[in-house]
Structure 1
């Protein structure tokens, strides 16, 4: 991969227009019954939020560009690492969603270790039939054929380098959901070198305390909605938080199933 897609390199600043007119002038007026200026307090909150999100990549599914790859196959890019610098700890080489219509087929070129997670339908990857939420990890150098008889969406993550990983298959119907924290269950799909590929299932109202990232942390929303600080992620949305950043707020009102790739052991602050 040599080029960066036309996606934002920082968060989708949904709140940034609120810092401009006409809102800024309206908020500058005193708020009856409240000390100080509401505009100043809200502006400070927004500035803190935007500063915390600097360097993060947030991609909305509805905005991700679809690139035709073959007849009946398109690929929505979520992330492609820029060239010319050393990768961060845990940074992916690329992440995307491959969307196949019924009968669609795509041969992938050789690359680094690749993870596949089925988001919709069923698919064959390297002659392995995968259903909803099944996970497959292939070693570096593989040239898998991705095909679907009835149509499917599959998340694909390619790691940097020639990491020494073994072929790993985790079937959703067989894996279970071990308890991780109150209201949260976690499935370890793969782990090595302090990082891991994970599936989380959280109940409505569940939250994770303030934590930092020793590796790049990727979150892909499989189902439901999740607040990462002041950013609301919905089904199909993706966020990459670089190593060295953190999240003050991680909580869901709806309940959620999400894929994450990052620290095996969360670094709570």
Structure 2
């Protein structure tokens, strides 16, 4: 009797491990039968991809570490800053998705300034009733209550945020100001050249080559986006440290993205 191989998961399409060792050397090696010029071009493209990925943190939603915080509440970690070193410009202390089942409640202890963005369902955060794509920034220092009647997923970003003031932006009231051809942008909060933003891009839209003066975080709220040779899908997250950049930023499907980074992109 022949044993059939396991059927691949339908969403198991993450090809990024193919850019790491031991595959990287195999890709870069000359392949028999390939014209030398084509082999050189593939090698250069691989080198560019590996260089662009250095230092970046990419987390797939399906593989994010989940931690149970209370009955009916899970936290999926996207980023936690290493202890014992100075923070980069715009670097968060932590970023996560908190998933609340219907009727669940949670109290977050006092910490840094926190941003909350509802990415699924509806939630009550610090007494505010938030719907899909509503945003709330809370200053550092206070405990925060979260609850949901019907269930919700809430993105939570924590940072030092000295001087941050309570800010509420409701999706139904904020609109989508034009930013570039095929791209609209909503500024949720800004200070000192740093900003929390929502981008909405049409299919086929792209952003020119740019670098980052602050850490740039991208959370895929809806749709798919290529950041260089990495395809991000709904729920995925990437942090690109200050000083890095992106050669390719484009979408075939159209997207809504939460971003935290430079208010003014540094085009190169």
TM-score normalised by length of structure 1: 0.90
Counterpart in the other structure of 2:138:
138
CA 1:115/1:37 → structure 2, altered by over 3 Å: closer, same or farther?
same
Cα shift readout 1:91-129 (whole Å, capped 9, x = no counterpart) = 000000000000111100111100000000000000100
**Once superposed, which parts of structure 1, at least 4 consecutive aligned residues long, lie more than 4 Å away?**
21-27
1:29 aligns to 2:28 (yes or no): no
Q: Could you tell me how far 1:40 is from its partner in structure 2?
A: 3.8
Distance 1:242 1:184 in 2: 23
- Please say if residues 204 and 254 of structure 2, whose CA atoms lie closer than 8 Å, have aligned partners that are also in contact: yes
Deviates more, 1:12-21 or 1:65-74: 12-21
TM-score normalised by length of structure 2: 0.90
Distance 2:110 2:15 in 1: 32
Counterpart in the other structure of 2:228:
229
Distance 1:203 1:48 in 2: 27
Distance 2:107 2:201 in 1: 35
Distance 1:55 1:149 in 2: 39
Counterpart in the other structure of 1:181:
180
Counterpart in the other structure of 1:68:
68
1:111-122 pair list within 5 angstroms? 111-122=111-122
Distance 1:41 1:186 in 2: 36
- Please say if residues 27 and 46 of structure 2, whose CA atoms lie closer than 8 Å, have aligned partners that are also in contact: no
- Please say if residues 15 and 46 of structure 1, whose CA atoms lie closer than 8 Å, have aligned partners that are also in contact: no
> What is the count of residue pairs matched by the alignment?
255
Structure 1's unaligned 5+ residue stretches are 1-10
Counterpart in the other structure of 2:19:
16
Q: Could you tell me how far 1:46 is from its partner in structure 2?
A: 1.3
Counterpart in the other structure of 1:247:
246
Cα shift readout 1:66-113 (whole Å, capped 9, x = no counterpart) = 100000000000000001110000000000000000011110011110
CA 1:22/1:254 → structure 2, altered by over 3 Å: closer, same or farther?
same
